[in-house]
């Protein structure tokens, strides 16, 4: 059987690597450089959580390390969220824009790294989301600092998901020790694909 070029999950259309529009962007030179070359399953774990714990309507959401931006687009679609995605790799932007058009949603993309997100910038958001972004030790440190700035900026919650790599576990342990309201939740789904991992949720202590 031929590999499907597109799928539908959590109400979103998601293109696979073999889809002509994805191939066209690649051939135009948009080659992701830090693993943002596809949609990653940990985003589904956050969508599954948000399905049961919806965001307030119109929440201002920042998706960090957004890659193709499907998690942010899910929030736009289900909660009328006003969504910005940041990623250190500018080449993921066209893939995000493509999925925004395909799903009739709007999401702003900015090329920024975690370290560039100042407290003043983070104060513009209610919620920070990120999936599959804590895969190197240095990212664990950068994300810990980012959560601390977000707490200081009054962001009400930060939700990160990961398939439980060791930098993520380090981040979860350090966060539990440093911040007032921290949950680490084991997570798993069987549809649209089997995926397991954990969510780290840090709520504002102000």
Give CA 87 to chain center in angstroms: 10
Judged by beta carbon, residue 129 or residue 182, the one nearer ligand SAM is 129
- Cα separation, 133 vs 103, in Å, equals 23
Task: Based on the shown chain and the rule CB under 6 A, indicate whether residue 43 belongs to the binding site for ligand SAM.
Answer: yes
Which of these segments, 12-20, 85-93, 147-155, 195-203, binds ligand SAM (CB under 6 A)?
A: 85-93
When binding is defined by CB under 6 A, the residue of 67, 93, 167, 197 that contacts ligand SAM is 67
Q: Candidates 6-14, 66-74, 162-170, 187-195 — which segment interacts with ligand SAM by CB under 6 A?
A: 66-74
Element housing 97 (H / E):
helix 93-102
Residue 46 in contact with ligand SAM, rule: CB under 6 A: no
Q: Is residue 114 part of the contact set for ligand SAM (CB under 6 A)? A: yes
Closest CB to ligand SAM among residues 141, 205: 141
Map residue 11 onto helix, strand or coil.
coil
Choice between 108 and 113, CB closer to ligand SAM: 113
Work out whether 168 is an interface residue with ligand SAM (CB under 6 A): no
3-state DSSP call for residue 96? Answer: helix
Please identify, using beta-carbon distances, which residue of 131 and 172 lies nearer to ligand SAM.
Answer: 131
The b/e string for 171-196 (b: 16+ C-beta within 10 A; e otherwise) is: bbebbeeebeebebeebebeeeeebe
DSSP string, 45-77: HHHHHHHHSPPPTT-EEEEET-TT-HHHHHHHH
Residue 85 engages ligand SAM in binding (rule: CB under 6 A): no
**Nearest-approach distance from CB 96 to ligand SAM, in angstroms:** 10
126 binds ligand SAM (CB under 6 A): no
Nearest-10 Cα torsion for 75, 80, 86, 90: 100
Cross-strand partners of 51? none
* Residue 158 binds ligand SAM (CB under 6 A): no
- Binding segment toward ligand SAM, per CB under 6 A, in 95-103, 129-137, 147-155, 167-175: 129-137
Residue found by looking up tokens 């709007």 in the block: 106
Is 69:61 a contact under the CB 8 Å cutoff?
Answer: no
Please give the residue ranges that form the binding site for ligand SAM (CB under 6 A): 34-36, 39-40, 42-43, 65-68, 87-89, 92, 113-114, 131-133, 139, 142
């Amino acid at each position: 059987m031929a590999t499907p070029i597109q799928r539908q999950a959590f109400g979103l259309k998601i293109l696979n690597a073999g889809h002509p529009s994805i191939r066209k962007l690649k051939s135009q030179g948009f080659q992701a450089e830090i693993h943002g070359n596809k949609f990653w399953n940990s985003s589904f774990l956050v969508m599954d959580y948000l399905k049961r714990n919806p965001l307030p309507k119109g929440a201002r959401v920042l998706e960090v390390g957004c890659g193709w931006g499907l998690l942010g687009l899910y929030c736009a679609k289900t909660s009328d969220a006003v969504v910005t995605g940041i990623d250190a790799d500018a080449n993921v932007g066209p893939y995000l824009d493509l999925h925004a058009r395909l799903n009739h949603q709007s999401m702003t993309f900015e090329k920024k790294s975690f370290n560039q997100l100042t407290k003043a910038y983070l104060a513009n958001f209610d919620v920070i989301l990120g999936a599959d972004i804590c895969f190197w030790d240095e990212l664990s440190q950068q994300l810990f600092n980012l959560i601390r700035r977000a707490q200081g900026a009054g962001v009400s919650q930060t939700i990160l998901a990961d398939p439980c790599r060791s930098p993520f576990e380090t981040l979860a342990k350090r966060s539990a020790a440093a911040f007032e309201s921290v949950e680490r939740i084991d997570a798993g789904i069987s549809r649209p694909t089997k995926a397991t991992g954990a969510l780290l949720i840090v709520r504002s202590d102000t």
